[in-house]
Structure 1
Amino acid sequence: MRYLLALIAAVILGVALYRGIDISRTPDREMTAASQALTVPPANASSAVNATPLEATHPVVPEMLPPPALPISNAPFSLREKTSPGLLIPVQGKVASDLADTFTDARSEGRLHDAIDIMASAGTPVLAVSDGHVEKLFYSERGGLTIYQFDPQRKYAYYYAHLQGYVAGLAEKQPLKRGQMIGYVGSTGNASPDAPHLHFAIFVLGAERRWWEGTAINPYPLLASSGG
């Protein structure tokens, strides 16, 4: 009987101890609660500083591609784009329909003409094709009495040859205006006396800006499109 009472007392004590344990404080539950505390905002969330997402502080920069290549123009060189207004036909009274393209005509010693001839009566006034200045007054065996005019930017030289004479008072470094009379049609140099004309050429000047050096370009399309 004594042993039975002791066994009953032990069972009762074990049940009491089992019910007194707080299973909410187990290690697993404590870890879960701790992790929730890190993710759940505080009660005064309105006063808490909002966290900035990582993407906002370190934005993803898109790959920078080079700009598309500009197309290379294969259009022919055009002085018309460089001059405003356009070039004037340099012989008084002449219009576009009076002109002929003789730029590539053959000349003596295997040369090309590199100019155009504007036929006119001897003594017809010769006019400056654009603004600029007289760079050089010169006499040569082939060109006879000549004028070299530079444009205002000193990029182009305009060459007038076979002149009968200069207008009175013309001088080197003298400023010129488009349409100003500068000389007279003639046949000096190697031109035929039976065919007086103005030999007119345009040269793209080199870096040295020498009146006797340059690259010839065809004046015909520039003058023919100017309308006179």
Structure 2
Amino acid sequence: MDSVSHTVKRPRRYNSPLRAGQAAATRQQVLDAAWQLFTRQGYAATTVSQVASAAGVSVDTLYTTVGRKPVLLREVVESAISGTSRAVPAEERDYVVQVRAAGTAATKIHIYAQAVVGMSPRTAPVFIALRDAALSDADCAALEAEISSRRAANMVLFAADLRRTGELREDLTDAYIADVVWATASAEHYTQLVATRGWSPRQFGDYLAELWQRLFIA
């Protein structure tokens, strides 16, 4: 009797770069649509169905790709901060690496001021929307408090980095410097001068750099 060899076929595992790229593109479509709706009509007035429709996906796809509405808001905020579709820790952001590598306080200040200008067109509107939503939504209030606290902590690190140059005024504490940077680089300050008073983003960046240099450097 002839022996017969049986080969067991295993199911093929798909890990296609194309499929991963499509998933990333879908996620970005969802985040872009949510950013537009949250900043234009507010968090409370925006439904998940509206975001899905604007992104050209189903609600189920939106939930699978990003998550429910509070998660969606968090991802929009993190995406606006990082400039990518994912959250990026502060120490890994390009401008933070450049600031820490710079040799003088003036150069560090200039780099950070320009980074604020680069981020603010996408972060300021969503931060304002988050602030307004926090007045009536507990999830939004918790996220706003977290983001604000995180910004404040990062400003303390920035002040300490400036201090290491040996060029700062000795009568100013790191906490004072951090608070000034936290306030003047805020979404509210940017919106007041650029959106309300008609400044260009470049004017705003030059103003921040000059303000911080004149105030902080001995």
Q: Tell me the TM-score normalized by structure 2.
A: 0.20
User: Is the radius of gyration larger for structure 1 or structure 2?
Assistant: 1
More strand by share: 1
Q: Tell me the TM-score normalized by structure 1.
A: 0.19
More helix by share: 2
